[in-house]
Amino acid sequence: MEHNKSFIYVIFGASGDLAKRKLIPALYSLYVNNLLPNNFAIIGVSRTNYTDNEYRNKMREALGKFNETNNTAEIEAFTHKLFYKSLIYDNSKSYNQLALRMGILQREYNISTNTLYYLSTPPDLYGTIPQYLATAGLNDQTTGWKRIIIEKPFGYDLESALKLKDELLKDWKEEQLYRIDHYLGKETVQNLLVTRFSNGIFEPLWNNNFIHHVEVTSSESIGVEQRGGYYDNSGALRDMVQNHLLQVVALTAMEPPASLEPSSIRNEIYKVFQSLRPFSSDDVKTNTLRGQYTASTLKKEKALGYREEEGVNMQSTTETYAALKFYIDNWRWGGVPFYVRTGKRLPTRVTEVVIHFKPTPHFLFSNHANCSSCNQLVIRIQPDEGVLLKFGMKIPGSGFDVQNVNMDFHYSDLTNQRIPSAYERLIFDSIKGDTTLFARTEEIIAAWKFLSPVLDAWKNNPDIPLYGYPAGTWGPEKADDLIENKDMTWRYPCKNLSDDGIYCEL
């Protein structure tokens, strides 16, 4: 197995938040679960000057904080695999020194030249670092593989994504590039494929004959926290929809792949991106909606408005909430609207896909004549991960009144099952060379193309309103109007999978 072979893992941006919170804890988990080979080394790289020991101390501290472990012996053993090299990102000498350091470690610890470079730096370095690595010969695969993992965002818009693509493909091959979308690393996102394709009962109904509409929600209760500077140049559409949520839509909508080969799965995903109906300028006005959170009082405490957050322009028009209605123009989905919404500072943190089935062709029962009892299949990505089916049942007693009841499965009911973190899974796959759960260039470009008319109109057309919504509420009330059927609204999910409603206990 390829992952049994030794390798060096180079993390650019090694003193940053992502490395501390996610990357090092994920590598540590793989290590303690015996998923890494005996011979490997991790080199942290960033501008700051640290010795190996100083860096190890920082990462020990991070592991204490972000990993549920206090096994000091294991932490000690792991941190001895950590090394550090300071580097000036646009200086070729620095890369030659890095090459020398790698050579020394390879000889000293009997490690092959297999190398993974993880770019966890500001995005404006995503073109620079690979170019300098190539100039120093660090992309050469004669004696071992060389791979680059690139964090999101891949570009800021269509034009910059195309430019970055060209820069990368000058010195690297597509198969060496692993574009990370941590949503694809989530166990529950992958389970979308299994729910659909391992059960005989769902797939026959999974089309426009039976499905009325599909809803994808990703709400967060937190605001922009310390990331105001980044977020103010991004906004909800770029931050969440262009990548994570369109990938979730693709897995929900794709055709069954011919096999589980990465290319087979990714081809089907890409076909969904190709079938997204482009937004016309009228669609942008009627089928998209943006909002920004305003100050409010939550649990008797003042919650800041977005424009008061650190790093945010006081006149900012960046959206912290986005909702879209769109279509996938293909045989399976013709005429079925997809509704996607995401926002910061909403009442609770929930990500889920809701399949709303069509009503029965004839309403036999008295209180059955609206869609409050239509069947829904809720696939909960987080938290209280699980699957919920809502169906109508007779209210006991005289007559034939119908009520909606739940059938639910919660991952927490599976005993002794540890759900690996998204980063753990993706880092492991990148070491194995499995590209299934990484986004391909064409997908990313297609996603930018799809959203370009919305981004342009939101930027340039002052007639498209930016609605305020008080922090802690479900976004602009106007978002309900996107769903045209007056008997239907968005589902208002609660923390617990089985509950919903605007006023549910959060």
| Of 418, 384, 381, 383, nearest in space to 30 by CA | 418
Amino acid of residue 382: Q
- Shortest Cβ 143–ligand BG6 spacing (Å): 35
Residues 6+ apart with CB under 8 A from 351: 217, 218, 219, 248, 380, 381, 382
Q: Taking the complex as a whole, how short is the minimal distance between the CB of residue 475 and ligand BG6, in angstroms? A: 16
Which of 458, 474, 457 has its CA nearest to residue 466? Answer: 458
Q: What minimum distance in Å lies between the beta carbon of 38 and ligand BG6?
A: 32
For ligand BG6, which is the closer residue by CB, 94 or 234? Answer: 234
Nearest to 336 by CA among 272, 241, 257, 400: 272
In the complex with ligand BG6, which residue's Cβ is closer, 46 or 219? Answer: 219
Looking at the DSSP bridge assignments, the partners of residue 356 are: 213, 376
Two structure tokens written together for 502: 């605007």
SS3 87: coil
Q: Is 368 noted as a catalytic residue in this protein?
A: no
Residue type, 303: A
Q: In this complex, which beta carbon is closest to ligand BG6, that of residue 239 or of residue 268?
A: 239
Output the smallest distance, CB 457 to ligand BG6, in A. Answer: 23
Give the interface size with ligand BG6 as a residue count (CB under 6 A): 3
Least CB distance from residue 35 to ligand BG6, whole Å?
A: 21
Of the pair 220, 429, the CB lying nearest ligand BG6 is at 220
* Residue nearest ligand BG6 by beta-carbon distance: 239
Find the binding residues for ligand BG6 in span 328-367 (CB under 6 A). Answer: 351
Whichever of 351 and 376 has its CB closer to ligand BG6, that residue is 351
Chain mean position to CA 132: 29
What's the order of all strands across the beta sheet hosting 288-294? 402-410, 386-394, 376-382, 350-357, 211-219, 337-343, 321-327, 288-294, 466-470
Structural tokens at position 241: 């929809």
Q: What angle do CA 15, 156, 293 make, to 5 degrees?
A: 85
CA distance 459 to 477: 22
Q: What's the number of CA atoms in the CB half-sphere (13 Å) around residue 355? A: 25
Catalytic residue, candidates 244, 362, 368, 410? 244
227 to 246: interface string for ligand BG6, x by CB under 6 A: ------------x-------
Q: For residue 151, state whether it binds ligand BG6 (rule: CB under 6 A).
A: no
Query: Between 60 and 491, whose beta carbon lies closer to ligand BG6?
Result: 491
Region 191-220 residues binding ligand BG6, contact defined as CB under 6 A: 220
Q: Which is nearer to ligand BG6, 41 or 237 (CB)?
A: 237
Rounded-to-integer distance, Cα 295 and Cα 58, Å: 36
Task: Quote the least distance from Cβ 126 to ligand BG6, whole Å.
Answer: 15
Q: Which two tokens stand for residue 387?
A: 């699957």
Instruction: Round to whole Å and give the CA distance between 453 and 460.
Output: 10
The least distance separating ligand BG6 from the CB of residue 34, rounded to whole angstroms, comes to 26
Q: Are strands 466-470 and 288-294 parallel, antiparallel or unpaired?
A: parallel
**Residue positions annotated with a catalytic role:** 244
| Residues at the site binding ligand BG6, with contacts judged by CB under 6 A | 220, 239, 351
